Structure 1
Amino acid sequence: MARIAAIVLVLGLCMPETLLAWVTFEADEIDSSTVKPGAYVEIIYGRGERDPVSEEWERLDTARGYIQAIDTETLTIGERFWKKVIALEHIQKLIIATSAQEEKRKSSFELGADLLSVEFQTGQYASTTLINMGGGLVRTSPSIYMSSFFFNKLAFDLGLGLTSWSYDGGNNTSWMTRSGFTYFPQGAASNSVYVRSVLATLSTDNSSTQFGAGGGLGYRHVFQNRMAVRLETSYIRWFRAKENHIAVRLSFGVVLGSKGAFPEPE
């Protein structure tokens, strides 16, 4: 059953001298039951400027843009699509993204590195806290990572870490691999929280390989479909050493091969 959907376009909170527009679409123009939360919707709108003195809005041209659904009744502006101060007077056309189009909105790869980590280690004999730039203790925070997006909401992650340290006058090297699957409820092309599974190995000079498992919870913010910043809390249990590692880390990545049904307007 078709329902009336209210489209709320709010730009004034983040941009000065912009027009607040409230547009209601009739039932035969949009079926709000087809609007999936997180979906992108294409719009054709009038673009112009508001005179700061007279407060009159002058129409300049017609442009194409996108808005993003936050629930089944309300749509809000997708902030990354706006290149300059604009105002919205009249929405001329609205196209709802299909599930097939949404599925195409995904990244192919993301390559990144840790910028900062805070790590808590607990074991049988002692507990330590470490704060490091660029990764941290190799057992929990790999220095570099790669994410491969198979679907819009699912990625396979591989992290690699290498650490050299001195002990009793000698030099030692540790290297670690961490792999697992990451699920993005809002999709990999959007800003989204995520959950992940972790399987890890740790090898040290003159020592056998250890195995660990755990998981993580984080938030990923995407900039222009080209860069991504992640803030994550993760946990790994190392079985042979009987150690628990909890880390909070900030990472930065470059998105490669990003593709989607909705390119940004010129």
Structure 2
Amino acid sequence: MTESGSDHPTRRQPQPPFPQQDDEHPGYTDRMSPRPDHGEESYEGSGRLTGRKAVITGGDSGIGRAVALAFAREGADVLLTYLPEEEGEARETVRLVEDAGRRAVPLACDIREEAECGRVVEAAAGEFGRIDVLINNAAYQMSQPDGIEAVTTDQFDRVVRTNLYGMFWLTKLALPHIPEGGTIINTTSVQAYKPSPHLLDYAMTKGAIVTFTQGLAAMLIERGIRVNAVAPGPVWTPLIPSTLPDTSEFGKQSPLGRAGQPAEMAPAYVFLASPESSYITAEIINATGGTPLP
């Protein structure tokens, strides 16, 4: 494993090979080698989101944690959702937000259920009075290298309900609480455009998120609400060792030759949530390590 530290983008963060590692789902940050970088030592805010109130699904670890940290250092309060088994991860995200002087509201829930999505919105409205930024980030995947025949109905249902149903319900229920000038940011993926066969069901949902983002943007612009998405490439998060069989070369396929770190995704979300992107809606920001996308 090559150590990070260079300003050259290919060497700015650790490069493969990584130690082979396997973990139970949903995966745990402290078990990963190298440990993901969420911007703990590097992200410096400049007040770009002062006073904003944000909801981040899957905010306990990975990209969600990095976004919560960045939002807090930019001046936003954050409600973050997580699965009950991710309680320890969520506590660390809460600590990072509170260390930045902002308010963190952790909420254990399962967005595969409509009632749970309603609980998220009710909690955010009750705690904050409004939702300025909704980030639909929570996702589930499970590699099936043996083909579509190996994708069980239970797996397919979990992927679709987590990645699509949850996003749809949260967006629908949150809209009455999103004021003019608010933003919705969805997490799609390079998989939406260049699907890996072993992630067929996951890639399908990520393609749907692109379509949902663009259609919703056209629908909501009259209300003064912008809708955009971020499409990460391979990013080093706990989801990787808990859902992929081979982590040793993860990210090597990107033109940068390495996986992205959660900290490298967060600035795209900050930009899309800030007034600096006021002329941008229906857009997909590709953070793929150089993989060209449409």
Task: Give TM-score, length-normalised by structure 1.
Answer: 0.23
Q: Quick one: higher RCO (CA 8 Å, sep 6+), 1 or 2? A: 2
TM-score, normalised relative to structure 2:
0.22
Structure with bigger helix share is: 2
Structure with greater proportional strand content? 1
Who wins on radius of gyration, i.e. which is larger?
1
